[in-house]
Amino acid sequence: MTHSNNTALSVNLNKIALIRNSRPGNYPNVLTHGEICINAGADGITVHPRPDQRHIRPHDVYELSELVSNYPGIEFNIEGNPFAESIADFPGFLKLVCNTKPHQCTLVPDTNHQLTSDHGFDLHRSGKSLQPVIKQLKDFGIRVCLFMDPDIEQITLAKALGADRIELYTGPYAEAFKTPGASFDRLFEKYLSAAGHAQSIGIGVNAGHDLNLDNLGYFRKIPALLEVSIGHALTVDAINMGLSSAVKTYKAICTS
């Protein structure tokens, strides 16, 4: 089994913002660190604004959108719960997306107070409510990606709703990777089958969650993997090796 062609690396800046928000002021500066990532070879920037604003805040979304517009070929990806409503200083997820018009919007079924995204959509339950959201985003010229488990039936439903891509939730893969064996092999086969099915019906495949320097290379055995979004592990590695070096190291895996 061979690796896919180059996979785009989108760096999630949430944890940079989380550190900034732990103190008054603007240190570390999210915009500056986004530019470091781009200059180090990142193909895109990802943010996941949440209503509680524990990391990325609305002003970050606007400023990063403007930053990315100065770098042709670099993509801006906003991910989050499409039904996150306006509360306090949060204008609502869809309003943020439609105002900034990112290249890609990755819709994620997390709740307002969820620690992190930990499952894909069940489109039997949420498909009807998602359909007008997907149409609205596509009418703005935004590529729509749905956060999904490696479930062939669900991916077929994603296609019917008009999604352009799926982002495979790789949390279970990352956990299973720690203990190689038959159960890991069976799980990885599910990811291979899900990705192959998506591609066969015309949906692009992204991936993200808990991917790191240890497990990313193996996951790239999935053919035609278009993009990975990595934030937490890359930020942790940046503490040890510096942000620019961390981005370059992940980028090297994505292009090997």
The set of catalytic residues is: 48, 79, 209
As a whole number of angstroms, the distance between CA 178 and CA 15 comes to 24
Residue 55, annotated as binding a ligand = yes
Three-state secondary-structure class, residue 142:
coil
Beta partners for residue 104, in sequence order: 77, 143
Residue 81, annotated as binding a ligand = no
Beta partners for residue 165, in sequence order: 145, 204
Q: What are phi and psi of 166, to 5 degrees?
A: -120, 150
Residue 89, annotated as binding a ligand = no
Residue 111, annotated as binding a ligand = no
Residue 23, annotated as binding a ligand = yes
As a whole number of angstroms, the distance between CA 168 and CA 1 comes to 20
- Token pair for 55: 């990391």
Q: What are phi and psi of 228, to 5 degrees?
A: -120, 140
Residue 116, annotated as binding a ligand = yes
Q: Which DSSP string corresponds to 97-127?
A: HHHH--SEEEE----TT-SS------HHHHH
Residues in the chain: 256
Residue 139, annotated as binding a ligand = no
User: Buried (b) or exposed (e) across 87-109, using 16+ Cβ within 10 A?
Assistant: eeebbbbbebbbebebbbbbbbb
Residue 50, annotated as binding a ligand = yes
As a whole number of angstroms, the distance between CA 131 and CA 232 comes to 30
Task: State the binding site.
Answer: 12, 23, 50, 55, 116, 210, 231-232
Task: State the binding site for 1-deoxy-D-xylulose 5-phosphate.
Answer: 50, 55, 116
Task: State the binding site for 3-amino-2-oxopropyl phosphate.
Answer: 12, 23, 210, 231-232
